[in-house]
Amino acid sequence: MSSPLPSYPAQPAPRAPGEDWRGAPPPGRGAARGLAVAALVLAVLGFLVLTWVGAVVLALIVLAGSSARDRRGVGLAWTALGVCLVWVVGVTAWLAIAPPAAFLDALSTTGAGPGRGSDGQIEAEGRLSTLDLREHDCFDSAELAAESPQIVQVDAKPCSDLHQFEVAAVVRIGTKDFPGTNRVQRMATRKCVPHLRRLDSSRSLTLDMLWTIAPTADSWTRFEDRTALCVVGDPAHPSTGSVRDGDSSGPTTGV
């Protein structure tokens, strides 16, 4: 007579990675992939800048909650962090070669710009890009008074108001390549001197009252700026009126 076969205790069914003894995923890990997807979406939208913060936070949450047995969402989280890094490197490189932010802001004069009449003359004060200044526009500029090599915006105003400077003429710099900051200033001065001599003689304008706003390397390359502004004025003694009309009033001494 044969002996009965030995009995063995039942063994639990194999568990998938990340499952607990009931076969359910660990608490808090069910949404890991969703968070990782959200992080990646925010990273791709990095041109909005602030989305970088959300992407990094969500990716770090996913990575912090991962384990050797449960890697759900980890790949997407690392991808999101990589995309954010690409954005940071790209924006840093762009800022390194782009013109200063103030220069870009100066190109937009809508909303806060000065009001012009039907004849094109300024009738109300406002900030104005130097690229938009016209002949016989009047303005104030602390940067020009300080002889800054790069002047971005000025405070334009009607010539009937007290002002420091007036655009006497707009001249063209006729070279193909940017000649350099010092040379372009000398070229502008040489072209502006004849215009100074033809202006209102009753104001006794002298060479020390002649100022120039010449193209910069950025405006020359990016905006094909080839014009220089011949400016007259005495920032220490503002005046009213325009040299064009011969009705200017104010001190006649140089700076």
Using a cut of 0.75, tell me whether the model's pTM lies above it. no
Least reliable range by pLDDT among 12-16, 86-90, 231-235: 12-16
pLDDT, tens only, 111-144: 456 788 888 899 999 999 999 999 999 999 999 9
* Residue spans per domain, the chain: 32-97, 125-233
pLDDT, tens only, 25-48: 554 555 677 777 777 777 777 666
- Rounded Cα gap, residues 73 and 37, in angstroms: 8
